[in-house]
């Protein structure tokens, strides 16, 4: 019996499971979010009326079901898997009793959205030992320091080889465990601690074994946002505040707080073109290290002292994420670009 002749299967093909919803999410704002995003991005059938017909939330288990006007709209909406909504990414999946074609990816990419479905590949990496105070966006910001993210899933809890970039990195009072995830992991396995998955190998070297004897660069994330850095006076105040605070722990040899590119004062074009323009500017800022603070001390022990004092501290209402790097650390953007020589003073403007 095909979907079209079975009302139950037809309805299931129009529904999506939405996981990891936050307590602030409700039927109304979730429906409005999907309706506005699908119309804004021209995703779906584009038929008359709103794409979402109904929403049901289960607040005890933090999930919801969203029913769309058609199976095609439901398939298209899966492109939003991983989109941030009210302080967290939405995990979008087919219902368990979905009886339609096995099509989990709509073949549509929404710019700026990092999928929560992380397929097996040589680029799949497991990160363990994260501090519990970090949320999804903060962990993603940490990982983006080393490259662009395609997919990310943070498992909340009460391939072989160890990554040479993050494994053993000291984050506050903890060390990260980073290794390639299993390429042979079975789909649909429950969210268990990594040490309960026989397919995922344990770290080859103990976390924290890497030497930090020459790590004299303190990297701080979640400390500033691009909006803080636009105004010259505000930027100068932040720069001096950071320098004064870090000088308590050692001699600051260099301090870099990358600034966002100057935005065109003209109103961006409407629709998808304007969205793409804003996204390109955001990616350019991320590629330049905007949102991060780099402090180079004269000695590694000074950087360690700054790390222990500042990691987890509040700055402008945000919890600082911090780690130490040496000058050979592989980061995006590269450290040699961050600390590239700068002119002592900007060149004078032309007089005519």
- CA–CA distances in Å: residue 188 to residues 77, 92, 162, 302: 21, 14, 25, 46
pLDDT over 90 at 134, yes or no? no
pLDDT of 212 reads 60
Q: Which residues of 63-83 are buried (b: 16+ CB within 10 A; e: fewer)?
A: bbebbbbbbbbbbbbbbbbbb
pLDDT of 168 reads 61
Q: Is the peptide bond before 200 cis (omega within 30 degrees of 0)?
A: no
The CATH number of domain 217-267+274-339, selected from 1.10.760.10, 3.30.70.330, 3.60.21.10, 3.40.50.720: 3.30.70.330
> What is the third-level CATH fold of 118-155+175-181?
Alpha-Beta Plaits (3.30.70)
Distance in angstroms (rounded) separating the CA atoms of residues 259 and 342: 14
pLDDT of 339 reads 93
| Residues 6+ positions from 350 with CB-CB distance below 8 Å | none
Q: Mind listing the pLDDT tens digit for each residue in 227-239?
A: 889 888 999 999 9
pLDDT over 60 at 222, yes or no? yes
Average pLDDT over residues 35-49: 83
Distance in angstroms (rounded) separating the CA atoms of residues 35 and 27: 12
| Residues 6+ positions from 287 with CB-CB distance below 8 Å | 332, 333
Distance in angstroms (rounded) separating the CA atoms of residues 255 and 258: 10
Domain layout of the chain by residue ranges: 7-93, 118-155+175-181, 217-267+274-339
| Domain 7-93 class in CATH | alpha beta
Percent of the chain whose pLDDT exceeds 90? 22
One-letter-per-residue 3-state SS of 53-83: EEEEEECCCCEEEEEECCHHHHHHHHHHCCC
Q: Mind listing the pLDDT tens digit for each residue in 67-88?
A: 999 889 998 898 888 888 887 7
> Matching CATH topology for 118-155+175-181 and 217-267+274-339?
yes
* Residues 194 and 200: beta-carbon distance below 8 Å: yes
| Residues 6+ positions from 61 with CB-CB distance below 8 Å | none
Distance in angstroms (rounded) separating the CA atoms of residues 128 and 191: 13
Q: Mind listing the pLDDT tens digit for each residue in 235-272?
A: 999 999 999 999 999 999 999 999 987 665 445 555 55
Q: What pTM did the predictor assign?
A: 0.49
């Amino acid at each position: 019996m095909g979907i079209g002749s079975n009302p139950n299967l037809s309805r299931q093909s129009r529904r999506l499971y939405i996981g990891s919803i936050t307590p602030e999410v409700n039927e109304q704002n979730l429906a409005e979010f999907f309706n506005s995003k699908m119309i804004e991005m021209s995703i779906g059938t584009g038929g008359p009326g709103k794409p979402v017909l109904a929403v049901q939330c289960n607040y005890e288990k933090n999930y919801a079901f969203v029913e769309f006007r058609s199976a095609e709209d439901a398939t298209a909406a899966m492109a939003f898997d991983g989109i941030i909504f009210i302080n967290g990414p939405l995990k979008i999946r087919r219902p368990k009793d979905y009886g339609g074609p096995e099509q989990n990816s709509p073949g549509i990419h929404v710019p700026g959205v990092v999928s929560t479905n992380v397929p097996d590949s040589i680029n799949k990496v497991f990160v363990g030992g994260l501090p519990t105070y970090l949320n999804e966006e903060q962990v993603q910001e940490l990982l983006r320091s080393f490259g662009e993210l395609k997919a990310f899933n943070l498992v909340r809890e009460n391939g072989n080889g160890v990554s040479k970039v993050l494994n053993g990195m000291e984050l506050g009072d903890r060390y990260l465990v980073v290794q390639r995830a299993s390429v042979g992991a079975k789909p649909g396995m429950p969210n268990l601690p990594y040490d309960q998955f026989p397919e995922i190998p344990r770290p080859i070297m103990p976390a924290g074994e890497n030497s930090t004897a020459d790590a004299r660069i303190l990297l701080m994330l979640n400390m500033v946002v691009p909006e803080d850095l636009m105004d010259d006076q505000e930027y100068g105040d932040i720069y001096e505040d950071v320098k004064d605070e870090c000088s308590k722990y050692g001699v600051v040899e260099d301090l870099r707080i990358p600034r966002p590119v100057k935005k065109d004062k003209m109103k961006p074009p409407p629709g998808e073109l304007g969205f793409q323009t804003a996204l390109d500017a955001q990616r350019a800022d991320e590629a330049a290290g905007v949102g991060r603070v780099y402090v180079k001390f004269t000695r590694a022990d000074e950087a360690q002292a700054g790390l222990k004092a500042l990691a987890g501290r509040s700055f402008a209402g945000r919890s600082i994420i911090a780690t130490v790097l040496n000058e050979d650390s592989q980061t995006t953007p590269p450290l040699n670009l961050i600390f590239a020589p700068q002119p002592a003073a900007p060149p004078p403007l032309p007089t005519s």
